[in-house]
Chain A
Amino acid sequence: MNATGEPRPVLKSPGHSGRRRDAFVSLCSGLPGGPTAVVAALLVLMPVVLPSRTMATEILIFAMATLACNLLLGYGGLLSFGQAIFFGSGAYLSSLVMMHGGFGLLPALLTAAVAGAILAALVGALAIRRTGIYFVMMTLAFNQTAYFIAYTLSDWTGGDNGLLDVPRPPLTLFGVTLADLSDATAYYVFTAVLFFLIFIAVRKVIASPFGSTLIAVRENEARAGALGYDTRNFKITAFALSGAVTAPAGALYAMLLNFAPLENIQLSMSENIVIMTVIGGTGSLLGSLLGAGSWVIISDILAEIWPRWLILTGGALILIVLYLPGGLWGGVESLMRRFRGGGTPHAPDGIPNNDGSTAQPME
């Protein structure tokens, strides 16, 4: 029980069973204001520290996609190589309704979210009919299908050339123009506010009955079923929520670039999203921001040094997976733990801390 007498679910710390993918312990809950305050601070700092506003915006867009992937992978244990389906569709669809349907900014984003949710629910419903490696292969196959559909429908998507001249309309609400977003700083602020709202929302989702059950399904699906949960519905809902966040991220990306390239829906985009999730740390929402941030920054730096920079990012990925099994966030955590001398009780990111009277760190 915590101070208010409200019991919270507490997850045990990692390391004990060697299953470091459960490194979702967050010492941030102990920081003033918790993870939400940390994110708010980062959102203010990023445009100041980073070389360009555009890069800061790009990081946040990929961090949204990473959060959504993390919901599936870190909390649901579902490794989806189909995230680009939702990212790419969101980009195309929002662009098309803006260009041909006269949609404003918010309606276009909303369209992407709804379409992303429906699409992801469909993909999820079919893919979860298999488990393990076959499930992963299904998501991969769906991604390839989506790619070829986008490639074929070149009248709509621009095919190989991408969809050109995507507008970035001003922010309007009920016909009143609130802000012109053509300036890079204004667009960053808009994206940052959206990211912040999504971050809070995903945290709430994880601390909900749905979120706690999703973790249970990941931990032990047979038991979850025996307890009365139709585990399929939980997985499909996780997909739908994931799609509802990933597709608007794709839409924001198209507006950032004024262009929706075919790469958005390519398998390599799915890979990138999964990589960002893994290097950030699965099961930690702050890790998602960290993962997306470091991936975008590292890629940017390396691309300037050497045209074959992808080889180096590959090397960086291997190092992280080998030496930081909890991802970058796991590394930050163990540093903080060392800093504090360990022994701090902790709750998972996204769930308020418990007083942890008997929650024992297992190091």
Chain B
Amino acid sequence: MNDRHILTTENLSLSYGGFRAVDKVNLRVKRRTVHSVIGPNGAGKTSLFHCLTGGRRPTGGRILFKGEEITDRPAHARAASGMARSFQITSLFQNLTVRENLRLASQGRDGNGALVFWRSVNARKEHVEFADSIMERLGMVRKAAVAAGDLSHGHQRLLEVGMALCGKPELLLLDEPTAGMGVNDIPMMTDLIADLGKEYSVMLIEHNMGIVMAVSDTITVMSRGGVLVEGKPEEVRADPRVREAYLGEVA
């Protein structure tokens, strides 16, 4: 196992009946890089993502995380081993405050240790402190006591990524972090992701080509369940097959 790669898939496949949503995909995500997966609608990006996060059990192939096979591990066990994800459709604790959302996310590292019912939450101060540090990083300190459901959509998307960060993950899986974001909010997300790539390994599924080209170290282009092209942003941009798949969208 090559130590430079944090996440590897070998012939990963997912079929729904006869339809191959993910077809023998081989991915290698290098440590401390931003690796993006793009592709036209229906290319299998989200299905691939579900396999990686444990939402779906692959019908073939293997997933290796830090050299260990995790193909059949449930979602919470993947989180515990250092993999965190964000959700494409914002998935927060809507009725809880921003700080409580992040505190819960940080406390998630305790796993079953959080089953203690005889102690106060204040006994584990480090989670509150970590939540506060993430809040600072997101620039959301002033929103600490606001319910997540009352945030603007842009801020909800940021909090979504912040929740994933609270797990102190080694690999961050981001599913369309800019989905539904206004044009004005996108730069703050782009900056955040580029910044995250220095500390974490980031795997990004994204529709917005501007962001992908700006932040990625490696881009994998998917089409019809398989890998079409993989390379640096400029290589991918120049590749005629990619242009064809997108019907000129890239140019």
Contacts and interface: CB of A to CB of B under 8 A. Distances in A.
A213 B95 contact: no
B108 A227 contact: yes
B95 A219 contact: yes
A208 B119 CA distance: 5
Contacts of B111: 228-230
Nearest to A236: B115
B116 A210 contact: yes
B120 A208 contact: yes
B31 interface: no
Interface in A1-27: 6-12, 16-17, 19, 22
A271 to B, nearest CB: 27
Given A216-B96, A219-B94, A227-B167, A204 B104 contact: no
A354 B100 CA distance: 12
B129 to A, nearest CB: 9
A211 B117 CA distance: 7
B96 A227 contact: no
B interface, over-half SS: helix
Contacts of B120: 204, 207-208
A237 interface: yes
Contacts of A362: 150
Given A22-B95, A228-B108, A230-B112, A204 B167 contact: no
Interface in B19-76: 53, 74-76
Contacts of B80: 228
Contacts of B104: 212-213, 216, 224, 227
A10 B100 contact: yes
A229 B76 contact: yes
Nearest to A1: B144
Contacts of A216: 93, 96, 104
Nearest to B79: A228
A130 interface: no
A98 B66 CA distance: 58
Given A208-B116, A213-B107, A223-B92, A358 B145 contact: yes
Interface of B: 53, 74-76, 79-80, 84-85, 87, 91-97, 99-100, 103-105, 107-124, 128, 132, 142-147, 149-150, 163, 166-167
Interface of A: 6-12, 16-17, 19, 22, 204-205, 207-213, 215-216, 219-220, 222-231, 233-234, 237, 241, 354, 356-360, 362
